[in-house]
Amino acid sequence: MKKNQKNSTGIMLVAVQTEKNQKQKRIENFIDGLLVWIFAMLTGIAVCNMFGIKVNALPAIAGIVFAVYLSFEAEWKGKLKKYALLAEVLVLILVLLLFYKTILDGWNLFLNQILDEIKQHLPYIYPQYPVSDGDLSDKWKLSVTMAVLVVIIEKISTVFIKMENRWITGLIGLMWITLQIGLGFGPSFVFNVVFSGALLLIWFRMHRKEETGGKESALKIESACFTAGMILFVTLIFMLLVPEKEYSKNETVSKLEASIKEKIEDWRYSGSYDAMPKGDFEGLSSLKLKDDAVLEVTMSDPQSYYLRGYTGSVYNKHGWETTDKKVLYHASDLFYWLHQDGFFGQETLPLASLALDETTKEEPENTVTIKNLKEDSRYLYTPYELTGTTPDKNRIGDEGVIAKGLKGQRKYTYTALENQIKKYPSLTAKLADTENLDEEGKAYSEKEAFYNQYVYETDLELLESVETELKEILGEYTLANGSTHFDYTKVKQNILYVLSSRCTYSEEIKKETGDLDFLTNFLENTKKGYSVHYATAAALMFRYYKIPARYVEGYVITPDDVKSMKAGEPYIVDGTHAHAWVEYYQDGVGWLPFESTPSYLGIMETAEEYQDISGITSGIGADDEQEQQDEQDNLEDEEQPEEEEDEIDWILILEMLLGILIVLITLFLILIIVKIIRERIRCQKIKQLFDSEDYNQAVNALFEYTMNILAVFGLKVRNASLYRYGSQIESLFDEEMKIEYTKVVDIRQEAVYSSHSIAKEQRDFVMEFKNKVWEKVYKEAGWLERFQLKFIYFL
């Protein structure tokens, strides 16, 4: 009678436990549904914020309804589960069929908005997808499409959670960060943090499902440490690498961001030779050109060329930057139509020559092959006479030719005309004779007029301080009636005169430091410099006279070099050919190089009547000229105070960067060490129980230890009956091991739930099974699994 009563009590306890487990399972399913809804919604909101997409509340409503369904669906099993999955697929197909046009329009609107936003940050002409007219507004079409996407994301998220693999959330987070770094922009800082928080919630959910029993307290400590570390890491990454929208970064963080981007670009493009500063004059020091082989140039018809590389359009007091991306974005339609018609800003001179001079068409084209040995590979070094199809017709902008590919291009071939720079005066004269222009000339003139307007809107910008300074140096001037700029000849004479009378060419200069304007430092203080100084000053002087101009770096192939070149044979261009010059825009003809560096005057071919600065008179007033000469004489008598070199800013930036990296690495190592120590202590405690006189306790410890070994070997531990692992044991080993495992489970259940003590023979059987499992696992395990067994889990 007592035995039956004891059995009935056990059955009642099992029933209560089963009911309790079912209730807990429902709670877990509800939490999972809530998590996937939160994650899907935050993903959608972050994407909408990132790309400026406007939707209504439909995606949120659809998401929460489907999330509730998923929480119930998680409890279904067997055929009901299969029927539910089949129903989901059928409903999705039905929705796509019924709302196909609306969803397709919404998807195309979604893609168009994404591409338009990307265009503002990565100037490129992207495809536009068609959207049909209809009764629904664009906002509703986008909302329907987003609702479908939210539902799909929720379903995928549910699968991820069931997989209980925490690496998936890490991979999603890495992809999210990589996407923003690659595009150069992202959602607001707040949305980034919130989205990262959603990923952490799912990570915790997976983490909690993996941990059982006595690990809960340790899990709380580990989770807290991980949370603190992730918040620090995510905050730091986004502050450094994601452009700010709702927060402002201080100067130090901005410099760190620029430094990191520079390192990435150096990895992508830079060779072992970096002669010119690529427009960045901070820290610029003496010129040190070497005779290293940099470019290998092969021409079918050797010509003297300026080979353009880096081109800067925006002067920022400490160097030159490329055109602002927003400016390029607003000019995207212009570049699209110009490129469709075969008009490229990099080819204005040859286009003009071919359209206006019949003799040019009869000249054979020069085939040029460049093998970049050591220089920056992001730029294709091309002449002003370029005629090949090298420029990317989808790229918005005209600052040189940018190479394609992750690492740029090291070898490329293009075609070019013979040197055309000396012919531009005759081309200008033909354009002026509008009555005698043929159809080809008129077509070119019409396209150039549109491009001309863009150039004048973009490449005349002057800082107010620079304009004031140049006004004091160059004096005031008056434009002729109907003219948009000062006379070209007088401008060139004035530039050469001022630079020659005020400044001295020198390759030995003090390092650029502090906040002093680069131009001011050159023209007013040191009055010494080399090509980058002269080119910068000349470009800004051109702009002062309302002539568009830009700063250029590259390599020159001089007429003397041509004498040593042979058709079809490689010619080595060494580092001493690196140079910086100014290019100005000649109305009708396009961009032309202008030499202002004293040591290069008279070397390159030019249409100018003068070949050097001797005898050039200034176009400014005589009084100003005499005043400048007196000032120059007085300054020569005075000894310029030497400026101390100061590298504190860069040292601080480097120290901060290293400090942050050390903190992150230290935090990561501490977490690993804590985990390893905790695992070692836990494992030692379990091992001590193997020989316990309490056989029940020994069996329980042996079983836990064995299951840990199996988990490392591939056993998927879940919240299920221990007997259900038999099939996995059989797949990992054989049927005999499955039978022994079942007997071991019987002994373990008896040890845990029965009131009597386990026999020594039963303990020994479990011990033998543990040893057998260890021998088989360690024998068949790979090196990584063996490392985990011995040094991570100490099994």
Q: What is the pLDDT of residues 644-675, one digit of tens each?
A: 444 444 555 555 555 555 655 666 666 677 77
Sheet of strand 366-372, all strands in order from the earlier edge strand to the far edge: 411-416, 366-372, 293-299, 571-574
Closest to 366 (Cα-Cα) out of 601, 550, 557, 606: 557
Beta 578-586 vs 549-557: how paired, if at all?
antiparallel
Examine residue 373 and state whether it is found in any structural domain, yes or no: yes
pLDDT of residue 207: 57
Do 144 and 234 share a structural domain? yes
Residue 441 · residue 430 · CB < 8 Å: yes
Examine residue 523 and state whether it is found in any structural domain, yes or no: yes
pLDDT of residue 636: 46
pLDDT of residue 543: 97
> Which of residues 646, 675, 708 is at a domain's end?
646
Structural tokens at position 35: 């998590």
pLDDT of residue 720: 64
d(CA 624, CA 621) in angstroms, rounded, equals 5
Do 450 and 560 share a structural domain? yes
Examine residue 49 and state whether it is found in any structural domain, yes or no: yes
Examine residue 278 and state whether it is found in any structural domain, yes or no: no
Residue 597 · residue 505 · CB < 8 Å: yes
d(CA 628, CA 631) in angstroms, rounded, equals 5
Do 161 and 300 share a structural domain? no
Examine residue 14 and state whether it is found in any structural domain, yes or no: yes
Closest to 591 (Cα-Cα) out of 542, 534, 541: 542
Do 641 and 707 share a structural domain? no
Do 717 and 630 share a structural domain? no
Examine residue 683 and state whether it is found in any structural domain, yes or no: no
Closest to 147 (Cα-Cα) out of 177, 178, 103, 183: 103
pLDDT of residue 238: 55
Examine residue 83 and state whether it is found in any structural domain, yes or no: yes
Do 465 and 333 share a structural domain? yes
Structural tokens at position 604: 């390159």
The amino acid at 183? L
d(CA 400, CA 347) in angstroms, rounded, equals 10
Do 561 and 478 share a structural domain? yes
Q: Low-confidence residues of the chain, pLDDT below 70?
A: 1-26, 164-166, 204-258, 272, 608-671, 717-720, 784, 788-795
Examine residue 169 and state whether it is found in any structural domain, yes or no: yes
pLDDT of residue 644: 42
> Which of residues 614, 646, 678 is at a domain's end?
646
Do 28 and 169 share a structural domain? yes
Residue 36 · residue 161 · CB < 8 Å: yes
The amino acid at 376? D
**Residue 504, domain extent:** 293-646
Do 734 and 614 share a structural domain? no
> Which of residues 619, 646, 673 is at a domain's end?
646
Residue 365 · residue 416 · CB < 8 Å: yes
Do 383 and 236 share a structural domain? no
Do 759 and 620 share a structural domain? no
pLDDT of residue 245: 52
Do 757 and 706 share a structural domain? yes
d(CA 49, CA 698) in angstroms, rounded, equals 58
Total tally of structural domains belonging to the chain:
3
